[in-house]
Amino acid sequence: MKSNNKGFTGETAACEYLKKNNYVIIERNFRCRHGEIDVIVYKNCQITFVEVKTWDALDSFDLSYSINRNKLKRIANASKVFLRDYKGDYSTISFDVLLLKNNKTVYEHYTNIYGD
């Protein structure tokens, strides 16, 4: 499976998982010159920026390789651009990572991984 297709189907599975957990999808694949965010969701007055990773072989140790300091900085910068133009109500933000197995089941959901 091509990387783009695997990413899209992984993000679709992640959105279904998030919806089942009472998140409202605000936007998918937000892009700006500072970076990109896979999924942006809302729940309990909080906006969450979600990075989705779909791998054939992964474990918790692999998170450190997939989400490095540079990637976190790009996500944080993109989130600032999104929030600058966002008209909805929120009181807090967080940054999450969803790791999915190749069969699109959620392997791990890491919440609030990065503080700015």
Q: Which CATH number is 53's domain given? A: 3.40.1350.10
- Whether residue 96 lies inside any domain: the answer is yes
When divided into structural domains, the chain yields a total of: 1
pLDDT tens-digit profile of 63-109?
Answer: 556 777 888 899 999 999 999 999 999 999 999 999 887 766 776 88
Q: What is the DSSP letter of 21?
A: T
- Whether residue 116 lies inside any domain: the answer is no
**Closest by CA position to 45, among listed 94, 2, 4, 10:** 94
Instruction: Put the strands of the sheet holding 92-100 in their side by side order.
Output: 24-32, 35-43, 46-54, 92-100, 106-110
What's the whole-number mean pLDDT along residues 1-26?
82
Predicted TM-score (pTM) of the model is 0.86
CB 70 within 8 A of CB 77: no
- Greater model confidence, 31 or 56: 31
